Copies of this chain bind each other. A is one copy, B any other.
Amino acid sequence: MSAAENQSDQFASLAVGVFKSTVERTAKLWSGLTEEQLHSEIAPGKNRVIYILGHLTATADAMFSLLGFGPRLHPELDEIFIKAPDKSIAILPSSDHLKAQWDEINAAVLSHSAKLSPSEWLQKHTAVSEEDFAKEPHRNRFAILLGRTSHLAYHLGQIVPGTK
């Protein structure tokens, strides 16, 4: 491996590492929440914690197709946690059920991510066309990885002040 190839490997590994540690922080926080905390709003009139956790699970699942890892594991989550706002659906899946899906989805995303080469990280993600990607080469898998890590950190920040 040349020095430059080794560098590319380091960039990709570091970003996957930060994503992984953010996923683990979320899982640890989730495991420590009571049913009351899960069903409280993050601020008066805003989303409930359980809805945000479901939203994060649906977003993690969407990484599967965006990164070209194969069909999604739980696309049915989108109806409840992406398309519908909180409190518009009477009965949400239980926290235990969602948490098991969270663990399953993220383990699979991380397992696939660990196998991608640097040049595969820089390939287009599936939501951009070949023509658009030729003009905008930054719309690649690596951008999805960085964007999803920030998205996760942002929502973690929303959950923490109300539950600590």
- Does any Cβ of B come within 8 Å of A146's Cβ? yes
**A46-B142 in contact given A4-B7, A5-B4 (Cβ < 8 Å):** no
Cα(A160)–Cα(B138), bound, Å: 28
User: Are A161 and B18 neighbours in the complex by a CB distance under 8 Å?
Assistant: no
CB <8 Å contact, A142 and B11 = yes
Q: Does A147 contact B (CB under 8 A)?
A: yes
Cβ-defined contact, A4 with B11, below 8 A: no
Q: Which residues of B contact A91 (CB under 8 A)?
A: none
> Using an 8 Å CB-CB cutoff, how does the interface string of A1-42 with B read, 1 for contact, 0 for none?
011110110111111011000100000000000000000001
Q: Which of the candidate stretches A61-69, A103-111, A151-159 sits at the interface with the other chain?
A: A151-159
CB distance from A50 to the nearest CB of B (A): 15
Contact of A137 with B by CB under 8 A: yes
A116 at the interface (CB under 8 A from B): no
A143 within 8 A of B: yes
The interface centre, meaning the residue of A42, A119, A121 with most chain B CB atoms within 10 A of its CB, is A42
- Convert A92-121 into 0s and 1s, putting 1 for each residue whose CB lies closer than 8 angstroms to a CB of B: 000000000000000000000000001101
Which residues from chain B contact A138 at a C-beta distance below 8 Å? Answer: 10, 13-14, 17
A128: CB under 8 A from chain B?
no
State in angstroms the CA–CA spacing of A164 and B22 once bound together: 25
- Which residues of chain B are within 8 angstroms of A150 by Cβ–Cβ distance? 18, 22, 149-150, 153
Chain A residues with a Cβ under 8 A of chain B: 2-5, 7-8, 10-15, 17-18, 22, 42-43, 46, 118-119, 121-122, 137-138, 140, 142-143, 146-147, 149-151, 153-158, 160-162, 164
